[in-house]
Amino acid sequence: MKYGFCALPVVPMRAEASDRFEMVSQLLFGDTFVVEEYSEKWTLIVADFDGYRGWVDTKQLCFLSMEDCEKVKAWSAVQQELLTVVQVNNRGLLLPMGSRLPSAGDSIPNGISVEYMPNTVADQLDIQTIAQHWLGSPYLWGGKTCLGVDCSGFVQTLFKVAGYSMQRDASQQVLQGCGVDSISEALPNDLCFFKNDSGKIIHVGIYMGSNKIIHASGEVRIDTIDDKGIFNADRQAYTHTLSSIRRMR
């Protein structure tokens, strides 16, 4: 069995072993993984952070021994800014928010150098503030960065920066935390989940208080929400049907 980590700013994970298949998620710099199937062209990996499986172009992966992979998994800092240039292996990389980096004292595998050590205290971050920095970021199925993000990737990345481990898909995230009965009882940072006509969870957003929600739908935007769902003022229509509200802390 092989192990490794993402040594590039962002790498797509695909549903099948081809560039022609949909991107289901992304690895961000510092994310570690376990290899399930390996070939010279495509590798099936399972991400350690959320257990998500996907096919990755083998050329885009950095393979490590189990011992060195454990060193990377222990990196304790999370990139807080939307995009920041970091020196990795003597070259500048533009890393997105949510990338994992070593702090002072963290072990770094031989052959890997990270010159910029961020001073990150993740549990002091305000999710509401950093969420609004994403406004206007385009929707991208499977995306997890400000250059393209889907609804659950937006939630996962923001909560990761704030020190929480969230699953990848909205249908998985809805099983986390504890229930909240109505919008009138919701607090800022509660997660609102939305369903289709068959009852399947298909969307998630972050409650901001005062009947406002920030979510990725076409772009990262702020809309009005009530116990019926999301009301889009631009379209003068409800666009998402509320299913449940969950509190992560």
Q: Are 161 and 171 in contact (CB under 8 A)?
A: no
pTM for this entry: 0.90
Pairing of strands 212-217, 201-209: antiparallel
The pLDDT > 70 percentage for the chain reads 96
Distance CA 7, CA 29 (A): 5
Q: Which residues are catalytic?
A: 151, 203, 215
Question: How high is the mean pLDDT of the chain?
Answer: 93
What are 149-158's pLDDT values in tens digits? Answer: 999 999 999 9
pLDDT band at 125 (very low <50, low <70, confident <90, very high): low
Collect all residues with Cβ–Cβ distance below 8 Å to 33 and sequence separation of at least 6.
3, 4, 5, 6, 27, 45, 46, 47, 48, 61
Which domains, ranges and CATH numbers included, belong to the chain? 3-120 (2.30.30.40), 127-247 (3.90.1720.10)
Give the residue with greater pLDDT, 191 vs 116.
Answer: 191
pLDDT at 124 over 80: no
pLDDT band at 131 (very low <50, low <70, confident <90, very high): very high
Average pLDDT over residues 123-133: 80
pLDDT band at 177 (very low <50, low <70, confident <90, very high): very high
pLDDT at 68 over 90: yes
- What would the two tokens of residue 175 be? 């099983």
**Strand order, beta sheet including 53-57:** 23-28, 10-14, 53-57, 42-47, 32-38, 3-5, 62-64
Q: Are 183 and 190 in contact (CB under 8 A)?
A: no
What are 72-83's pLDDT values in tens digits? Answer: 999 989 998 999
Average pLDDT over residues 104-108: 87
Q: Tell me the H-state helices in the chain.
A: 66-73, 127-132, 151-161, 170-173
Average pLDDT over residues 63-86: 93
What are 11-43's pLDDT values in tens digits? Answer: 999 999 999 999 999 999 999 999 999 999 999
- At residue 113, the pLDDT reads 87
- What would the two tokens of residue 102 be? 């070593």
- Nearest Cα neighbor of 81 from 118, 117, 50 is 118
Distance CA 183, CA 220 (A): 21
In terms of residues, how long is the chain? 249
Average pLDDT over residues 219-227: 97
Number of C-beta neighbours around residue 117 at 10 A: 14
CA 18-23-28 angle, to 5 degrees, is 110
Average pLDDT over residues 98-118: 84
- At residue 119, the pLDDT reads 52
Average pLDDT over residues 85-114: 90
pLDDT band at 110 (very low <50, low <70, confident <90, very high): confident
Distance CA 90, CA 95 (A): 14
- At residue 115, the pLDDT reads 83
pLDDT band at 123 (very low <50, low <70, confident <90, very high): very low
